[in-house]
């Protein structure tokens, strides 16, 4: 996996500023994951616990900086995790799990604000 490049071209918006934002968020999540992973408690963690840690971190980033294209970020993170072979799961399982466990995204917030 190369930093600063899309793994799946389907996740691109073809708008340079948005695509750069997606890659920056994805790369920062992977950097965070690499520094978190060596923690002793993660050595005994289940796949679900590891995915929950990633989902929680994405959730915090969403709340800290609301922006578009988080779905693309999450999809890219899922593909990166699969490529890094951290879990013996298929892409759909990882991506679907992350989406299910991230309860707040900018679109949800916007919708709630207009109701």
Structural domains in the chain (count): 1
Domain that includes residue 96, residue range: 15-114
The gap from C-alpha 65 to its chain's centroid, in whole angstroms, comes to 14
Domain-embedded: residue 5: no
Tokens of 12: 């691109």
Domain-embedded: residue 109: yes
Tokens of 31: 């950097």
Residue 86 predicted with pLDDT over 80? no
Residue that the structure tokens 């892409």 belong to: 91
At residue 105, the pLDDT reads: 62
At residue 114, the pLDDT reads: 38
**Do residues 109 and 62 lie in contact, with contact meaning Cβ atoms separated by under 8 Å?**
no
Residue 104: pLDDT band (50, 70, 90) is: low
- Which has the closest alpha carbon to 77: 60, 57, 63, 47? 57
Domain-embedded: residue 9: no
Domain-embedded: residue 110: yes
Chain segment 65-83, per-residue pLDDT in tens: 666 688 899 999 999 888 8
| Residue 19 main-chain phi, psi, to 5 deg | -65, -40
Domain-embedded: residue 77: yes
Domain-embedded: residue 55: yes
Burial, 71: exposed, middle or buried (Cβ in 10 Å; 0-12, 13-18, 19+)?
middle
Chain segment 21-55, per-residue pLDDT in tens: 999 999 999 999 888 877 777 777 788 888 889 99
pTM of the model: 0.80
Domain-embedded: residue 25: yes
């Amino acid at each position: 996996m190369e930093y600063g490049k899309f793994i799946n071209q389907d996740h691109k918006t073809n708008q340079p500023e948005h695509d750069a934002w997606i890659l920056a968020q994805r790369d920062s999540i992977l950097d965070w994951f690499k520094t978190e992973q060596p923690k002793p408690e993660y050595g005994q963690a289940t796949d679900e616990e590891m995915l929950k840690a990633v989902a929680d971190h994405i959730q915090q980033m969403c709340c800290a900086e609301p922006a578009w294209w988080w779905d693309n970020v999450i999809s890219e993170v899922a593909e990166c995790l699969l490529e890094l072979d951290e879990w013996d799961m298929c892409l759909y399982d990882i991506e679907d799990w992350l989406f299910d466990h991230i309860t707040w995204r900018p679109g949800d917030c916007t919708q709630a604000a207009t109701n």
